[in-house]
Structure 1
Amino acid sequence: MKNLVLLSGTASDSHTWNLVYLQLLLEEQGYRVVNLGACVPPALLADECEAEQPDLVVLSSVNGHGYRDGERALAELRSRPGTAAVPVVIGGKLGTGGPEPLRAERLRAAGFAEVFDDDTAITRFLAFVAAQSLCRTAGTVS
């Protein structure tokens, strides 16, 4: 069994189909997934991250406010010692005007391990999570 992935929508995003899709996609790749659902406030995300100790946090947004919501979620995660080092990625429709490379770079500079906001998002996302394939239970590379 591969890494534990904590999957979450952003605070202002009530969409769930994207989360179900990502959960199934990750599970098909052998990852264990805890799906927190939609409209997850940053404090709850950080609380769950502390409790679950995931190997990766995946934030997904389709309402166009992911750039803004992502910054808040990451700031909360980085403010806590127990979640400060966990890799966090974000993807989906993060802006109302489509992909915004400068805002994506700002998210990376803030500490996101990767930002997936364009036509290559799913392909790049799958490659990214495949590269994170350390086996959690055995402590060996799988």
Structure 2
Amino acid sequence: MQTTAPGTAGPTPGAPATGLDVVVTGTSSDAHTWNLIYLELLLTEWGHRVSVLGACVPEELVVTEALACRPDLVVVGSVNGHGAADGLRLIAAIRAEPRLAALPVVIGGKLGTAEDTARAALPRLRAAGFTGVFEESAGTAPFRRYLDTLTAGVCR
């Protein structure tokens, strides 16, 4: 796992910790990585510490890593259009673990193969346990506003 963005020095040694500890992951069927790199760079630029699990990550691995790392937030990115289906399986696995019940988990990107199916999935994803669901067409502003509402250590 990479803990800082490529080409950056990361946090200053001895400086007080600011920002969130964030795990970024793709879904089990999504082989794309450029979106995960983008999320890593964006979150790092905004002052957060990031670990990237990668693409095609099995649900069980996300749960195992969340238990081991105890992040403040898990960010799930989807590009292949199957984010809603994969996301429902992933959030079910996360919420089945009592120690992760309060962990903020968000999903965003291309959640369906058509705009209307993606929009229809938003309420189902929220009801299943995602604390934030972000449509690709909305850009990064809603995601940034959500992050601003969180504080470091929310789940510790």
Whether TM-score is above 0.5 comes out as: yes
What letter is aligned with 1:35?
V
The answer to whether the 8 A contact 1:13-1:39 is kept is yes
Further displaced range: 50-59 or 96-105: 96-105
Q: Which whole-Å CA distance do the structure 2 matches of 1:39 and 1:65 have between them?
A: 12
Between 1:90-99 and 1:71-80, the stretch displaced more is: 90-99
Q: 1:72, 1:16 → 2: CA distance?
A: 20
- State the partner residue of 2:43: 26
What stretches of structure 1 of length at least 5 have no aligned partner? none
With the length of structure 2 as denominator, give the TM-score of the two structures: 0.83
How far apart are 1:3 and its partner, in Å? Answer: 1.1
Q: Does 1:50 align with 2:67?
A: yes
Count of matched residue pairs:
136
Paired letter, 2:35:
N
Q: 1:97 aligns with which of 114, 119, 138?
A: 114
Does 2:124 match 1:106?
yes
Give the drift of 1:95.
0.5
Q: Which residue of structure 1 aligns with residue 8 of structure 2?
A: none
Structure 1 residue 98 displacement after superposition: 2.4
2:124 is aligned with what amino acid?
A: R
Q: Which of 41, 44, 66 is the matching residue for 2:83?
A: 66
The offset of 1:59, in angstroms, is 0.3
Residue aligning to 2:138: 120
Aligned partners of 1:101 and 1:21: how far apart in 2? 23
- In structure 2, what is the Cα distance between the partners aligned to 1:130 and 1:110? 23
| Unaligned ranges ≥5, structure 2 | 1-17
Deviation per CA, 1:60-103: give whole Å up to 9, x if none: 00000000000000000011122122011000011111253221
What is the aligned-residue RMSD (CA, Å)?
Answer: 1.4
TM-score (norm: length of structure 1): 0.91
Matched with 1:16 is: 33
Deviation at 1:6, TM superposition (A): 0.8
